[in-house]
Structure 1
Amino acid sequence: MVNAAGKFGPYNQPGPERAASVTGVGHARALPGSGQSGSELVRSRIALRVRLATLIPGDRLPDVGVLADELGISEITVRRALEGMCQDGLLDRRRGRAGGTFIAPGWDAVVALLHNEEEAASLDAFHLLLECGLVAHSSGEVPPEQLERLQALVTEMDVAEDPTRLLELEARFHLDLAETLGGSGIREFAADLLGRLCLLQPVPEPAMVRAQNRCHAELLAELGRGATDPAVRAVKAHQRARLG
């Protein structure tokens, strides 16, 4: 597996020049009970990169061989996935010297047509179970300095005005939480879940994301105190805030 913090780390904060490729998204892993294929992995990881704003409409994707190497799947699987995304309207394919495969300008509108409430609810429940388990396992054993990066995200979300930035920070919080409590492998696993949810769930309103951020703050406070039950309740409260 590609190291999430290494050369191709896909979930780090963008540098001065925003990356315009899907890089280092880890090798394919099937989600339990979800039947996720390699092709679905390509879709979910591209969707997550759009949510993290390291890809935006109009950006060119890397060549098929590069994506296949990054994901640890075959080139034909990647090619089929990209073809399917082009047929759905998520990607554009252009010919010529400046050609390639690009994030479609109408990405958001197309994603809105792909929402699946039943499948999203199933994956959301699994994500909740994952985070509750990580919190219960790690509570009382997380040094305060390891929570500082998460606290910085909470603080930034408190003052962020741009809705797109809020969504990015929300996703980063859950990726960093998974890594802090479970390591880089669990971060990759959470990335699979979050990427698929980006395609299946409606985009939350800013007020909802701010309510969820209050749950983030409560979770970090309880983790810092080593209070397992209140920390787990904060994770559950986060989901209730999203469900309204």
Structure 2
Amino acid sequence: MVNAAGKFGPYNPPVPARPASGAPVLDARVLPGRGQTGAELVRSRIALRVRLCSVAPGDRLPDAGVLAEELGIGEITVRRALEGMCQDGLLDRRRGRTGGTFVARGWDTVVALLHDADEAASLGAFHLLLECGLVAHGAGELPPGALDGLQALVDETALAGDPARLRELETRFHLDLAETLGGAGMRELTADLLGRLCLVRAAPDPGTVRELNRCHADLLAELHGGALDGAVRAVKAHRHAPAASG
């Protein structure tokens, strides 16, 4: 699988390959939600990295050239995006031999000022539509063992106690679900959505994550049985779980 905390591939991916099941998939190029500018993409992907714990407040980011290659956009665009994030207080620029661009130690405080209920609702609604569509295509078509990795995430989430780890596992479940049901292109689209949501919606608290994880478990049970209606209900229940934060 593509490493969600690392190289995501080009910003405008080709038509995603069909998953192993042979089920048809949605074309990420024609779906809404890919309208980010290059600068917005940098912001959302850095936010996703923080959520996935691949970087933490105070950590140094890769150089602009490395980020540009990973995201498939120009280095100048990345540099401008990083400068804008420094101006916003999300990042810190340090000079000298040990300098570079760092995630601001006050990241959470600054992100809280960026929360936007309207945008969060719009992005959340599209994410719901996307997952319902993927479930509709995948139910009854998955090969044996296709859901094993997702089940492992559900099991780990049930045992986890650290709030940051719980949020990371919740996010990874949706990235892996998108790839399992729709291929690498759907993972890219989901990464776009989740990164943007990290900036405009409050992170779920541990109690909410546990409730959401029960929805994950129900979804996998329905997919194992090939029950389309039940799987779609589980996706919708996740959306309407307490605080609707996941």
Q: 2 CA distance for matches of 1:45 and 1:216?
A: 24
Q: 4+ residue runs of structure 1 moved beyond 4 angstroms? A: none
Aligned residues: 227
Is residue 2:58 matched to residue 1:75? no
**1:239: which partner in 2?**
239
Contact 2:34 2:192 in 1 (8 A): no
Displacement of 1:143 after TM fit? 2.3
Displacement of 1:72 after TM fit? 1.0
What amino acid maps onto 2:154 in structure 1? V
Q: 2 CA distance for matches of 1:10 and 1:243?
A: 25
Q: 1 CA distance for matches of 2:85 and 2:215?
A: 35
Is residue 2:211 matched to residue 1:211? yes
Residues 149-183 of structure 1: per-residue CA shift (max 9 Å, x gap): 00000001111111110000000000000000001
**2:42: which partner in 1?**
42
**1:125: which partner in 2?**
125
Q: 1 CA distance for matches of 2:57 and 2:144?
A: 38
Displacement of 1:62 after TM fit? 1.3
**1:112: which partner in 2?**
112
Contact 1:115 1:201 in 2 (8 A): yes
Displacement of 1:92 after TM fit? 0.3
**1:28: which partner in 2?**
11
Contact 2:90 2:103 in 1 (8 A): yes
Q: 2 CA distance for matches of 1:144 and 1:126?
A: 29
Over 3 Å counting, the alpha-carbon distance change for 1:40 and 1:242 in structure 2 is: farther
**1:138: which partner in 2?**
138
**1:149: which partner in 2?**
149
Contact 2:4 2:175 in 1 (8 A): no
The secondary structure found in structure 2 opposite 1:102 is: strand
Contact 1:204 1:242 in 2 (8 A): no
Q: Give unpaired runs (5+ residues) of structure 2.
A: 13-28
Q: 2 CA distance for matches of 1:209 and 1:155?
A: 13
Q: Give unpaired runs (5+ residues) of structure 1.
A: 12-22
The secondary structure found in structure 1 opposite 2:101 is: strand
Residues 72-118 of structure 1: per-residue CA shift (max 9 Å, x gap): 11111101110111011110000011110001101111111110110
Residues 133-162 of structure 1: per-residue CA shift (max 9 Å, x gap): 000011001124011100000001111111
Q: 1 CA distance for matches of 2:8 and 2:138?
A: 25
Q: 1 CA distance for matches of 2:45 and 2:9?
A: 9
The secondary structure found in structure 2 opposite 1:145 is: coil
Q: 1 CA distance for matches of 2:186 and 2:203?
A: 24
Q: How does 1:75-114 map to 2 (within 5 A)?
A: 75-114=75-114
Is residue 2:170 matched to residue 1:170? yes
Contact 1:209 1:242 in 2 (8 A): no
Displacement of 1:188 after TM fit? 1.1
The secondary structure found in structure 1 opposite 2:105 is: coil
Percent sequence identity is 70
Displacement of 1:242 after TM fit? 4.6
Q: More deviation in 60-69 or 230-239?
A: 60-69
Over 3 Å counting, the alpha-carbon distance change for 1:185 and 1:34 in structure 2 is: closer
**2:185: which partner in 1?**
185
With CA pairs under 8 Å and 6+ residues apart, which has the higher RCO, 1 or 2?
Answer: 2
The secondary structure found in structure 2 opposite 1:36 is: coil
Q: More deviation in 70-79 or 94-103?
A: 70-79
What amino acid maps onto 2:67 in structure 1? L
Contact 1:212 1:238 in 2 (8 A): yes
